[in-house]
Amino acid sequence: MEFKEGLSEILLTEEQIQARVREMAAQISEEYRGKDPVFVGVLRGVVVFFSDFIRHFDDFCQIDFMCVSSYRGTQSTGECIITKDVSIELRNRHVIILEDILDTGKSLDFCYNYLLAKKPASLKICTLLDKPDRRKPWIDIKADYTGFVIPDKFVVGYGLDCNERYRNLPYVAVVKPEVYEK
């Protein structure tokens, strides 16, 4: 299969994404001016969004990452575990979680509560994509900052993957079902 053959449509162009990332970074820069926030990226899909966002954040800040998994091999265990923890002391700091996509909410809810237990001065969520139709009804998590609300379609690009492929696309595209149903 050719690289882009498995895609059915471009949902968000590179230009749309870049414009929205700049807007969100400008808004958060103003809201956190002088507060030296810590941006925590949830790996791995967030890497592209994180690096673009942080370059547009216009004040002092710190960055850190965490990685959470609910899989062993290709099977979901239904339980989130931290495979890489933050290394910065978060107590009394203003913390913003950067996430690529808020989907079912399970992993982000886990991360949020885990970081909340570290007693930050404030804790907010900034996600590039929000897919509310996929949210589990028993999970009450919402982003404080959202780039785009998208329909319930399997998307890739701009850091998002399908079996570790397509992360390097500069746009967000919909994957054809036959690609992910194999």
Specify if 132 maps to a domain: yes
| pLDDT score recorded for residue 2 | 57
Q: What is the pLDDT along the chain (182 residues), one digit of tens a residue?
A: 456 888 999 999 999 999 999 999 999 999 999 999 999 999 999 999 999 999 999 999 999 999 998 755 444 556 888 999 999 999 999 999 999 999 989 999 999 999 999 999 999 999 999 999 999 889 999 999 999 999 999 999 999 998 888 999 999 999 998 887 76
Specify if 24 maps to a domain: yes
Residue 114: give its domain's CATH number: 3.40.50.2020
Specify if 2 maps to a domain: no
Task: Point out the catalytic residue in the list 103, 130, 140, 161.
Answer: 103
Specify if 182 maps to a domain: no
| pLDDT score recorded for residue 74 | 40
Per-residue burial over 27-43, b if 16 or more Cβ lie within 10 Å, else e, is ebeeebeeeebbbbbbb
| pLDDT score recorded for residue 73 | 46
In the chain the beta strands, taken as DSSP E runs, fall at 7-12, 38-43, 62-72, 75-84, 94-102, 122-130, 145-149, 155-156, 172-175
Q: Domain count of the chain?
A: 1
Domain that holds residue 27: 15-150
Residue 103 is among the residues annotated as catalytic for this protein: yes
| pTM strictly above 0.85 | yes
